[in-house]
Amino acid sequence: MVGTATKQAVRDARYSLQNLNFKTFNFDVHKLHAHVDAASLLISSNGETRSEDDLVTALLNAYKQAPNQEFCQLILSIENDAERDDKDIKAEELMHRAEVRYDNLVKRKKWTKSDPRDQQIIALQASIDKLTAAANKSDKKTSDNNASGKTKGGEKDGEKKSKGKDKNKGRDGKTRSYPDWMIKAPTNGQTTQTRNVKGKQVKYHWCPPHREGQGLWVQHTKEECSLLKKQQEEKAPKLQANLSTIDSDDESDGY
């Protein structure tokens, strides 16, 4: 009566019960248990018995992957109690207690569905990105504004700068793209303009040294331009040779 296909299915069911992975069930206790029930039923309806010990061990291992400390602690305490009393853990009772606690945690919105280790990695990556961006900003700022006398590459420095000031935005990459208006040279000799930036009126000045001499609308005046200052300083001793080394990094100045 029991065909080979069914025998294979029973073997699969048995194997799956011994290798429960909580993550596969999206950390949903009910989904995990539905699978356990279905697999158990398949095994028993074919006249075979599943191993209670194996199932309990697999369940305990699966539960311990839970993205929730409180839940994991419950599982550990169930294990400890059984060990202390030298009693076997019953799969049914274990599953019941797990379900009750799970439902309770979900109700209290204390249950997240993602793997805590994944979350840690995401958080870590985010802070690395932040530090990298801050370091880049800090490097640039110190290179185009030596007057501030700040330490080169200081993270704190960079972070401080990244906060609040609109003019520091969009300067974390080497390649920069400007809005059309920002690179459009004044045609009417008008080298200042006022623009609406997030509801604030901001005055812009046309500053010729930027973009390798092609000019850029910036928020500083030519007199305040550290790039121009730098070019003039460097032009004096070495003349042409240095002009080509002033690269586009300095365009971020005061923008």
Q: What residues line the site for Zn ion (CB under 5 A)?
A: 207, 225, 227
Q: Provide, rounded to whole angstroms, the least separation between the CB of residue 205 and Zn ion.
A: 8
Q: Both tokens of residue 112?
A: 């997240």
Q: Provide, rounded to whole angstroms, the least separation between the CB of residue 208 and Zn ion.
A: 8
**CA distances from residue 128 to 3, 123, 132, 169 in whole angstroms, order as listed:** 57, 9, 6, 18
CB atoms within 10 A of CB 154: 16
Q: What is the number of the residue whose Cβ is closest to Zn ion?
A: 225
Query: Which is nearer to Zn ion, 17 or 225 (by Cβ)?
Result: 225
Query: Which is nearer to Zn ion, 78 or 225 (by Cβ)?
Result: 225
Query: Which is nearer to Zn ion, 158 or 215 (by Cβ)?
Result: 215
Q: Provide, rounded to whole angstroms, the least separation between the CB of residue 220 and Zn ion.
A: 6
CB atoms within 10 A of CB 68: 18
Neighbour-count burial of 3, counting CB atoms closer than 10 A to its CB (0-12 exposed, 13-18 middle, 19+ buried): exposed
Query: Which is nearer to Zn ion, 93 or 166 (by Cβ)?
Result: 166
Q: Both tokens of residue 121?
A: 């990695």
Q: Provide, rounded to whole angstroms, the least separation between the CB of residue 225 and Zn ion.
A: 3
Q: Provide, rounded to whole angstroms, the least separation between the CB of residue 223 and Zn ion.
A: 10
Query: Which is nearer to Zn ion, 14 or 161 (by Cβ)?
Result: 161
Q: Provide, rounded to whole angstroms, the least separation between the CB of residue 246 and Zn ion.
A: 12
Tell me how far apart the alpha carbons of residues 64 and 74 are, in angstroms, rounded to a whole number: 10
User: 3-state class of 38 per DSSP?
Assistant: helix
User: 3-state class of 72 per DSSP?
Assistant: helix
Query: Which is nearer to Zn ion, 82 or 182 (by Cβ)?
Result: 182
Tell me how far apart the alpha carbons of residues 94 and 100 are, in angstroms, rounded to a whole number: 10
